[in-house]
């Protein structure tokens, strides 16, 4: 069935309360939405990717100028072949960054359309079933308007618990090490002896020694409870530094959310730069590349915990035996706000420390067209 139309649209969704991580202020989110259609079916395949606090229109240009011409007239079922052709087309314009994020959204749309044409949820199409998937409540961002640092993180942990989550993740790296250690201690106290706590540094520390100093302080703050993982302490390019930390820390080191394509992940795996891989479907190259990376990680005996996009990752995780949990943001936190443009009925449902994989055909993501138009105008 030949592809007849590929459309890309940028949406720009502001946060109600500006917040920050260790390295930047966040006041808005830019996404690109891709739709793929063919004249012989009324079904539409949809995919999306997150760009950051800007970049949506750049991704639209990448889809329209680089990727769509490759797809028009091609067979919708030739997904892996189309991935290779799109990747080849990017040879001179860059096979990293925004271009691969745009490719990710296109690839996701192709898989979504393929599953819808077969009347299957993605999880079923990949050989699994629609079922609950382990998840954790992510957050712990820096919001100075909401009280002291320790009170802020304690309140959020209690909010997570009230919403059925006992596993959590908070940010570190945005304050002095001692202040962040106080936040870790406050989070552990608020957990009341239950569940697990991961820490996300967003590449905050300048070198191995600095990251080691922070990690040791956080491990002491967590006491006998311990930490689930220490995420992205160093630059994504610092394969050696992450490997050294992995060898000396009691806490597992996690990374991978910024890495793109199987080629960067091969380097991570060969260098033993991580104890826990965090592939992101919307960053690394879409479903096609995510499956390659996750299966390779499994052959290395490595578990995964996908970064962001629980709506997309939950059905993929159902078909990934080495996935220990997906990252979930409760919409009311207004941190990961993509669900603000989804219909309420299709937003991800949660259980106790879990998300419920949709049994709708495709990814089960239904966009609210009126809200998409609204946020498309406000760029």
DSSP three-state, residue 152: helix
Q: Does 316 lie in the same domain as 180?
A: yes
Q: How many domains does one find in the chain? A: 2
210, containing H or E segment = helix 208-222
pTM of full prediction above 0.85: yes
Any idea what the CATH number is for the domain that residue 310 is in?
3.20.20.120
Mean pLDDT score across all residues of the chain:
96
% of the chain at pLDDT higher than 70 = 99
Is pLDDT of 377 > 80?
no
If you average pLDDT over residues 19-42, what whole number do you get? 93
Q: Does 263 lie in the same domain as 287?
A: yes
Any idea what the CATH number is for the domain that residue 61 is in?
3.30.390.10
Please check whether residue 361 lies inside any domain of the structure: no
Encode pLDDT of 41-99 as tens digits: 899 999 999 999 999 999 999 999 999 999 999 999 999 999 999 999 999 998 899 99
Is pLDDT of 218 > 80?
yes
Encode pLDDT of 182-204 as tens digits: 999 999 999 999 999 999 999 99
If you average pLDDT over residues 298-318, what whole number do you get? 97
Q: Does 151 lie in the same domain as 91?
A: no
Q: Of the candidates 297, 290, 230, 242, which has an alpha carbon nearest to the alpha carbon of residue 269?
A: 297
Encode pLDDT of 278-296 as tens digits: 999 999 999 999 999 999 9
Query: In angstroms, how far is CA 211 from the centroid of its own chain?
Result: 23
Q: Does 130 lie in the same domain as 89?
A: no
Q: Does 69 lie in the same domain as 165?
A: no
Please check whether residue 148 lies inside any domain of the structure: yes
**Model confidence band, residue 378 (pLDDT cutoffs 50, 70, 90):** low
Q: Does 135 lie in the same domain as 105?
A: no
Encode pLDDT of 118-161 as tens digits: 999 999 999 999 999 999 999 999 998 888 999 999 999 999 99
- Per-position b or e across 351-377, b if 16+ CB within 10 A of its CB: eebbbebbebbbbbbbbbeeebeebee
CB atoms within 10 A of CB 299: 9
If you average pLDDT over residues 346-358, what whole number do you get? 96
pLDDT computed for residue 379 by the predictor: 54
Q: Does 214 lie in the same domain as 138?
A: yes
How far is 58 from 98, CA to CA, in rounded Å? 7
Pair 271, 243: CB distance under 8 Å: yes
How far is 45 from 34, CA to CA, in rounded Å? 8
Structure tokens belonging to residue 304: 């995964």
Q: Does 273 lie in the same domain as 138?
A: yes
Encode pLDDT of 98-125 as tens digits: 999 999 999 999 999 999 999 999 999 9
Q: Of the candidates 238, 229, 336, which has an alpha carbon nearest to the alpha carbon of residue 278?
A: 229
Q: Does 16 lie in the same domain as 116?
A: yes
Q: Of the candidates 255, 250, 254, which has an alpha carbon nearest to the alpha carbon of residue 222?
A: 250
Q: Does 230 lie in the same domain as 101?
A: no
pLDDT computed for residue 94 by the predictor: 87
Please check whether residue 288 lies inside any domain of the structure: yes
**Model confidence band, residue 236 (pLDDT cutoffs 50, 70, 90):** very high
DSSP string, 246-293: HHH-SSEEEE-SS--HHHHHHHHHHTT--SEE---HHHHTHHHHHHHH
Handedness of CA 19, 25, 28, 30 (dihedral sign): negative
Q: Does 161 lie in the same domain as 88?
A: no
Characterise 350 by phi-psi region: left (phi > 0), alpha (psi -120 to 50), beta (else). beta
Q: Does 107 lie in the same domain as 133?
A: no
Is pLDDT of 329 > 70?
yes
DSSP string, 1-38: -B--EEEEEEEEEEEEEEEE-SS-EEEEEEEEEEEEE-
Please check whether residue 86 lies inside any domain of the structure: yes
Please check whether residue 362 lies inside any domain of the structure: no
Please check whether residue 335 lies inside any domain of the structure: yes
Name the residue range of residue 74's domain.
5-120+367-377
Encode pLDDT of 332-343 as tens digits: 999 999 999 999
């Amino acid at each position: 069935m030949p592809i007849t139309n590929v459309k890309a649209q940028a949406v720009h969704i502001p946060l109600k309360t500006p917040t920050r991580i260790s390295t930047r202020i966040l006041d808005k989110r830019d996404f690109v939405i891709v739709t793929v259609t063919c004249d012989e079916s009324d079904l539409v395949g949809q995919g999306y990717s997150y760009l950051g606090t800007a970049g949506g229109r750049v991704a639209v240009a990448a889809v329209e100028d680089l990727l769509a011409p490759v797809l028009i007239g091609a067979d919708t079922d030739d997904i892996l072949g189309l991935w290779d052709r799109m990747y080849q087309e990017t040879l001179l314009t860059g096979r990293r960054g925004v271009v691969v994020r745009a490719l990710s959204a296109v690839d996701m749309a192709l898989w979504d359309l393929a599953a819808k044409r077969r009347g299957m949820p993605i999880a079923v199409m990949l050989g699994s079933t629609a079922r609950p998937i382990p998840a954790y409540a992510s957050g712990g961002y820096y919001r100075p308007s909401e009280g002291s640092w320790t009170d802020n993180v304690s309140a959020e942990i209690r909010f997570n618990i009230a919403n059925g989550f006992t596993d959590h993740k908070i940010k570190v790296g945005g304050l002095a090490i001692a202040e962040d250690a106080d936040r870790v201690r406050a989070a552990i106290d608020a957990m009341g002896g239950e569940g697990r706590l991961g820490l996300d540094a967003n590449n905050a520390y300048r070198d191995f020694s600095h990251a080691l100093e922070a990690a040791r302080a956080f491990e002491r703050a967590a006491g006998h409870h311990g930490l689930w993982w220490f995420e992205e302490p160093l630059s994504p390019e610092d394969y050696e530094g992450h490997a050294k930390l992995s060898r000396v820390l009691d806490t597992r080191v996690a990374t991978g959310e910024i890495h793109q394509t199987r080629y960067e992940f091969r380097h991570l795996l060969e260098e033993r730069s991580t104890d826990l891989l965090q592939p992101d479907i919307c960053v690394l190259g879409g479903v096609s590349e995510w499956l390659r990376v996750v299966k390779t990680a499994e052959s290395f005996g490595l578990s995964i915990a996908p970064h962001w996009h629980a709506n997309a990752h939950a059905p993929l995780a159902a078909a990934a035996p080495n996935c220990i949990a997906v990252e979930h943001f409760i919409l009311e936190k207004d941190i990961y706000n993509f669900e603000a443009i989804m219909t309420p009925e299709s937003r991800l449902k949660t259980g106790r420390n879990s998300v419920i994989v949709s049994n709708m055909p495709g990814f089960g993501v239904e966009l609210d067209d009126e809200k998409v138009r609204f946020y498309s105008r406000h760029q």
